[in-house]
Structure 1
Amino acid sequence: MHILITRVDAIGDVVLTLPLCGYLKQIRPETRITILARNYTKAVIDASDSVDGFIDYDAIFALPEKDQIAQIKQHKFDAILHLITQKDISNLARKAEIPIRIGTISRPYHWRDCNRLIWLRRKVSDEHEAVLHFRLLKPLGIKEVPDELWRYYQMNKLATLPAEFSDLLITDKFTIILHPKSNKNALEWDLQRFSELIDLLDKNRYQIFITGSKKEQEELKPWIDTLPRHVIDLTGQLPLDQLITFIKHTDGLLAASTGPLHLAAALGINTLGLYPNFRPKHGGRWGPIGPKANYIETQTESLDSISAKEVFDKIKVWGKGAKYMGPNV
């Protein structure tokens, strides 16, 4: 069976799709999986052993409709899972005559375009996003949700890291990434709180990196200019495929609910997310999933009620950091 999975939103959303792909590959190894996503998330898909193909959403929908249909038909998909609900994709799948079209009953256009409907309203659910994906497998006869979803990420195909960046990781210190921004996709911790945390992290024990997109680089520069000299600014310097590799070879990452946070969890390093405690953005719904992943929820509608000391108390027990801390910790 060849399955098309749709996830045309942000990097973190695509990361949280991978456990579904990995589980499908485990229980039905003959299954072929293609993901329809945006080109800027392609590096995530390319890193996974469980995904066979990628279709660029923007490239497809830049074509005339007859060419869109022809492009989809040539793949000979047996089924489509609408993990993201968009009318244009739903309509195209029907016109391309994909035999099994699975969508949610809560979207009226799915009544016309899909021939397998399930009851699912993500915005009012407290189940984790990655778990909700599995609900769409019911029409394929798969009803169980496996334990330890992080085992199914299968992000093993990593890009080579240029020496200028790999050399930064040759250190006896605990390497930690602070990723302050979220491309405005989530609530963000105040930069002053990050500064307070940096002051708590002993420069002789921790090597600190700041990451962010090229767009965020300009926004963060005035703040980065105020930081101690031992903090290394990597904002805007790492394309996504190299950022994935760099994250994999560090010891820990701190961020709000954003793509690099979910990448860190999927890659198995120490991961700490900062979340509000209200629906639908709380940690139980969108928290990082990984063997060393954790999160802190605020008790207010702002992340700033989370103190630097509270975050530091979580970080100081991570891996190498714990053995460096001494008798007073």
Structure 2
Amino acid sequence: MKDLNVPVKTILISRIDAIGDVVLTLPMAGWLKQHVPGARVLFLGRSYTAPVVACCQHVDQFLNWDDVKELPVVEQIQFFKNQRISSIIHVFPNKQIAQLARKAGVKQRIGTRNRWFHWFTVNYLVTLSRRHSPYHESQLNFALLRPLGLKVIPTLPEVTACLDFSEVENLPEKWQKILKNNKPRIILHPKSRGHGREWGLEHFGALARELHQQGWQVFISGSSHEHDLLRSWLQQVAPWVTDITGKLSLPEFISFMKACTGLIASGTGPLHVAAGLGIHALGLFPPIKPMHPGRWAPLGPQAEYLVLPKDCSDCRKNPGACVCIQQIRVAEVVSRVQQWR
């Protein structure tokens, strides 16, 4: 029986940026559940990441920053007070959130030394340099747990074991109907919303045709905006693919991924979600630091990546393209996929 006299330790993880970053932060929740007995773990994020956090069984409650930031300041402070937060971990530094946590009287406020406003808003400063670190992005986040007494940065297999995406909604029937049960299913996600270097539509088109000929049901995914960008290309590859770009909500897309064999993309949010879901997830990466897979590889029991074995320093000067990622051969990708069947 739980001792009612022992206060529950409520820990808030604050990360209000992109989906991929959030996925690689969620293992912290699992690690906290393992090492802080009885801890209640909250996650502060944005509306568009809420469906991703909802998949993680280690997060007890999601707090939506998009809602909180619209409140008057007095109500924002009271909102933080109402959560009875023992510790806040500023994984993604934000001046306004840091100030609110201090004004709300959160006892333990953890942040990096790198942001000047943390010197006035947090009371546990952690030395952490992401850009030049040899650690994976997910491992770097664990350095912020040192003030909680968790000094060891886990190995990547240990981090992966803490990423539990078991709370996935059932796929709506209308999407189940387009799945062919007699074929393996694969999703190709060719765009990256400008967040990374891309393999190129020519390569993805050739890959789609080859996989279709080998008996795969091939889906092309992307946002509504990306659908408009891909419109003419989608017409070219229409004989080999099913276009789902812009047609599913994020919860539906997560459930759809779960129903497929695998997904191929660059280092984007869908790649990291697919890896966390436990399906095959193949990331195509440039050998440019800090974009390389040593920092951003997908984490999952069936996650993998391809990257050219060279230093891509020349491509760093060209923000729009990377010759090296485009030198990954379609045949090499097909060879990896053949092992999934």
TM over 0.5: yes
Equivalent residues of 1:173, 1:204 under 8 A apart? no
How far apart, CA to CA, are the structure 1 residues paired with 2:127 and 2:249? 38
**Secondary structure, aligned partner of 1:157:** coil
For this pair of structures, how many residues does the alignment match? 319
TM-score, with length taken from structure 1:
0.93
Is 1:189 aligned to 2:195, yes or no? no
Shifted more, 149-158 versus 109-118: the winner is 149-158
**Secondary structure, aligned partner of 2:138:** helix
| Counterpart AA for 1:135 | A
How far apart, CA to CA, are the structure 1 residues paired with 2:255 and 2:187? 13
Equivalent residues of 2:136, 2:295 under 8 A apart? yes
Deviation at 1:114, TM superposition (A): 0.8
- What is the aligned counterpart of 1:168 among 160, 178, 184? 178
Q: After TM superposition, which residue ranges in structure 1, 4 or more long, deviate above 4 angstroms?
A: none
Is 1:14 aligned to 2:39, yes or no? no
How far apart, CA to CA, are the structure 2 residues paired with 1:154 and 1:27? 16
- What is the aligned counterpart of 1:304 among 318, 326, 333? 326
Is 1:47 aligned to 2:69, yes or no? no
The Cα offsets for residues 147-193 of structure 1, whole Å up to 9 and x where unpaired, read as 42222122111112111211233422221100111121111121011
Is 1:210 aligned to 2:232, yes or no? no
- What is the aligned counterpart of 2:211 among 196, 201, 215? 201
Equivalent residues of 2:28, 2:162 under 8 A apart? yes
- What is the aligned counterpart of 1:248 among 252, 258, 262? 258
Deviation at 1:116, TM superposition (A): 0.6
Q: Percent identity over the alignment?
A: 41
Give the match for residue 290 of structure 1. Answer: 300
Deviation at 1:108, TM superposition (A): 1.5
| Counterpart AA for 1:226 | Q
User: Where in structure 2 are the equivalents of 1:202-241 lying within 5 Å?
Assistant: 202-241=212-251
Deviation at 1:28, TM superposition (A): 2.7
| Counterpart AA for 2:169 | A
User: Where in structure 2 are the equivalents of 1:1-329 lying within 5 Å?
Assistant: 1-147=9-155, 148=157, 149-298=159-308, 299=310, 300=312, 301=315, 302=322, 303-318=325-340, 320=341
How far apart, CA to CA, are the structure 1 residues paired with 2:122 and 2:307? 37
How far apart, CA to CA, are the structure 1 residues paired with 2:238 and 2:231? 13
What are the ranges of 5 or more consecutive residues in structure 2 without an aligned counterpart? Answer: 1-8, 316-321
**Secondary structure, aligned partner of 1:123:** coil
How far apart, CA to CA, are the structure 2 residues paired with 1:164 and 1:51? 30
The Cα offsets for residues 24-45 of structure 1, whole Å up to 9 and x where unpaired, read as 1123341111111110110011
The Cα offsets for residues 56-113 of structure 1, whole Å up to 9 and x where unpaired, read as 1122112221121111111110000010012122122111111000011121211111
How far apart, CA to CA, are the structure 2 residues paired with 1:204 and 1:112? 60
TM-score, with length taken from structure 2:
0.90
How far apart, CA to CA, are the structure 2 residues paired with 1:59 and 1:157? 23
How far apart, CA to CA, are the structure 1 residues paired with 2:37 and 2:231? 47
Equivalent residues of 1:72, 1:96 under 8 A apart? yes
**Secondary structure, aligned partner of 1:136:** helix
